Amino acid sequence: MAVVVGRFAFWRACRVHAVDVDRACRVTYLCSRQHVVPDKVSPGPGPSVAAARRYSSDSAKEELRVRFLDGEDAGIVVLGINRPKAKNSISKNLVKLMFEAVENIKKNNKVRSVILSSLVPGVFCAGADLKERAKMHQSEVGPFVAKARTLITELGNLPVPTIAAIDGAALGGGLEMALACDIRIASDTAKMGLVETKLAIIPGAGGTQRLPRVIGVSLAKELIFAAKVVDGKEARGLGLVNHSVEQNDSGDAAYLRALELAREINPQGPIAVRMAKLAINQGIEVDLSTGLAIEEACYAQVIPTKDRLEGLAAFKEKRTPHYRGE
């Protein structure tokens, strides 16, 4: 056993430098593709911000509501999970619908930010649909978890900023979805935790990797080992969420704060925001020198854009810039 461990450590030591150098080279290619998407993808008519957010239907197609906001909020997409009878738990159908939504967003260069929220009062996502899971054959469980893990990875890889609005319980896979988002906002009454060890399993959709990167290794171990659940205020203190807001009578305080933040992001240069996200996400996983090379590659992509020239012109003319993502 010691020999095997020693060989593995030696292999990793030899490989890590090559991986980091290769990553810096590949990021140049990724940067060049981040904003090369079809010129127009019509989202179809979508309700305005004032439209009702609560739905009661639990039919297959209604389990995820995708709303493209309009007017001054054009560019903001709201993904609303809507499985009231199952506490928004993650089912095969929900995974399918979310995959479709993520793929459509990736192809639409008009999208500037995404809010992941719940349309069910008091719950964000209760994790895996255990009733559905109990009906699965043992051979089906592994592939389903792998697909859910891939979905959450794709959510994290969206090129635009993603904000999780946690207005209720976010447990297990529900918290893992939120962890894949760039920013998390929770109501003070929300409950969050990776509670899989209570079921004699471990987080299987990225929780063991993302939580330590967000709050630190020791705190993540404590929460996961003990299956601890924290509220919004505690989560803010741990750094698990960016903001904790007092819940309102409508039960959507986190969503409203997320919408405010999306509105702050909206006016900024969209290509610049995408490149900033790519530089941060890729750079945080490597050493500083490689990270700086990644930043340089991403910066190179904004130099030839019309938006950069518009920003300079607006500054000179003392007016608000009008960015088009070009």
- Report residue 219: phi and psi, to 5°: -65, -40
Give the integer Cα–Cα distance in Å for 67 and 44. 9
Helical segments of the chain, H only: 2-34, 92-106, 130-135, 138-156, 173-180, 207-215, 217-225, 232-238, 253-265, 270-283, 288-302, 306-317
Instruction: Provide CB contacts within 8 A for 225, sequence distance 6+.
Output: 197
The pair phi, psi for residue 67, each rounded to 5°, is -120, 125
What is the DSSP code (8-state) at residue 67?
A: E
What residues does 77 pair with on adjacent strands? 68, 114
Residue type, 312: L
Residue ranges of the alpha helices (H) in 202-269? Answer: 207-215, 217-225, 232-238, 253-265
Please say whether the beta carbons of 183 and 161 come within 8 A: yes
Question: Which residues are known catalytic residues?
Answer: 128, 173, 176, 196
- The CA distance from 107 to 254, in Å, is 27
Per-residue b/e over 214-239, b at no fewer than 16 CB within 10 Å? ebeeebbeebbeeeebbbbbbbbebe
